[in-house]
């Protein structure tokens, strides 16, 4: 029994090592490809359009990392909206009827937010052209 357990442990270690190696290889290839594509696009467009200098592969890779950090960070983008909607639905379900009406009254004058139906009349103070 102990021999089988040791054998399984070794197999799991090898599996984790191979998986880490695959991830490292994928990240390396993806980074090289992204750097090359960004470098080629920059060197094709920017000097001709804006008169900027030609960049190297490492500068292109640095631009990618900088842009990623500044614009989106390195987080995953799946499921965030659905979790937000589910959380809002839970909060709405926990509200009493009075709390719901108070919430609706608070946003009734806001057009374009998606909470007010288009068949409701626009209040006079927020009518267009006024």
Q: What is the pLDDT of residues 23-78, one digit of tens each?
A: 999 999 999 999 999 999 999 999 999 999 999 999 999 999 999 888 887 666 55
- What mean pLDDT do residues 10-29 have? 89
Q: Is the pLDDT of residue 123 over 80?
A: no
pTM beyond 0.75: the answer is no
Does 6 have pLDDT greater than 70? no
Look up residue 69 and give its two tokens. Answer: 């950090």
Distance of CA 55 to the CA centre of its chain: 28
Arithmetic mean of pLDDT, 85-105: 87
Residue 118, token pair as written in the block? 């288009």
CB 115 within 8 A of CB 107: yes
pLDDT exceeds 80 at position 103: yes
Q: What is the pLDDT of residue 1?
A: 57
- Beta carbons of 39 and 56 less than 8 angstroms apart: yes
**Rounded average pLDDT over 109-117:** 57
Higher pLDDT, 32 or 110: 32
Helix or strand or coil: residue 115? Answer: coil
């Amino acid at each position: 029994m102990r021999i089988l357990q040791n054998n399984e442990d070794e197999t799991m270690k090898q599996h984790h090592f191979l998986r880490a190696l695959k991830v490292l290889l994928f990240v390396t290839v993806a980074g090289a490809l992204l750097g090359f594509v960004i470098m080629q696009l920059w060197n094709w467009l920017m000097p001709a359009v804006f008169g900027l200098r030609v960049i190297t592969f490492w500068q292109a890779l640095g631009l990618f990392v900088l842009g990623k950090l500044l614009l989106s960070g390195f987080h995953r983008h799946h499921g965030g909206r659905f979790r937000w909607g589910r959380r809002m639905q839970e909060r709405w379900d926990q509200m009493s009827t009075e709390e719901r009406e108070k919430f609706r009254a608070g946003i009734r004058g806001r057009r374009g937010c998606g909470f007010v139906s288009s068949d409701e009349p626009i209040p006079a103070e927020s009518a267009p052209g006024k």
